[in-house]
Amino acid sequence: MPILSTTDLNVSRLCLGGNVFGWTADEDQSFAVLDAYAAAGGNFIDTADVYSAWAEGNSGGESETIIGKWLAKRSDRDQIVVATKVGMLAGFNNQKRDTILTSAERSLKRLGVDHIDLYYNHLDDPNTPLEETLAAYDQLVKDGKVRYVAASNFSAERLAQALEIQEREGFAKFVALQPEYNLVSRDKFEGDVQDVVARNGLATVPYFGLARGFLTGKYRPGVEVRSPRAGAASKHLDEHGLQVLEVLDDLAETHQTTVAAVALAWLAQQPTVVAPIASARTLEQLSDLTPLLDFELTQAEVDRLSAI
């Protein structure tokens, strides 16, 4: 298993996204997916306090609660790396000191754990001084409630600024960045952001690794997909997206694996990337993802996809 940046966290090559837990996957479905993921060798789970506040009848924290109940049934809590986030839940959608400290306590309670392995600043907050924000994360680390801190959705400039402050003040430093990044959405990360990550030795843990499902291969011209994400995924059905699917199909056939596994393997083999995030609400969906745990493309195949 790869080590996450400068930490002692050994994480699996596939990070299981928890955004569907408590939304399109109920507790029983979520437990089945989590059990199967762990049985396949996965140990890295990603969630957030805001998951899944957008669903009718939800208020946030549903995913953390389900994961917490699942962890309580297991004897190997220390083998599971749990990442969660703060900063996008209504009423807690900022990066003020009180918000961070209070939200961490709420997440710890829902997860039923005494520490969070990786705690993300979910969204940069330009209205709060970075010094205040970063001091709060440092306090959580000093108090033993969080092992490592990380950032998500940061620009190159703000990430560099945050890292500089952490170095200057002796604060716990970000060890990872979680950006949107996949085969058909590359411009938000490649370039300046990736350069800051690489220069500072951070790990990249990309979200939307399958472009909201488009890179599973189920979205094709003339095919209707019934999914809450169908609208967003279908926007990639353009000339570029179809060229990507054509090569993914060819490589999946060559390796006798799934289109999703090939797309995720390309992502996992990009500079600084440690573990792409992908979610599954059913065992069938999970089976498309788990080949990534021990599958790699050749460099020529990586280059072929990159060149599209």
Which of 270, 273, 277 lies closest to 299 in space, CA to CA? 270
Which residues have CB under 8 Å from 227's CB, separation 6+? Answer: 213, 233
Tell which phi-psi region holds residue 39, choosing left (phi > 0), alpha (psi between -120 and 50) or beta.
alpha
Q: Are the CB atoms for 273 and 258 separated by under 8 Å? A: no
Q: Which residues pair with 25 in a beta bridge?
A: 21
51 tagged catalytic: yes
- List the catalytic residue out of 51, 137, 207, 219: 51
Collect all residues with Cβ–Cβ distance below 8 Å to 85 and sequence separation of at least 6: 47, 48, 49, 50, 119, 120, 121, 122, 152, 178
Residues known to be catalytic: 51
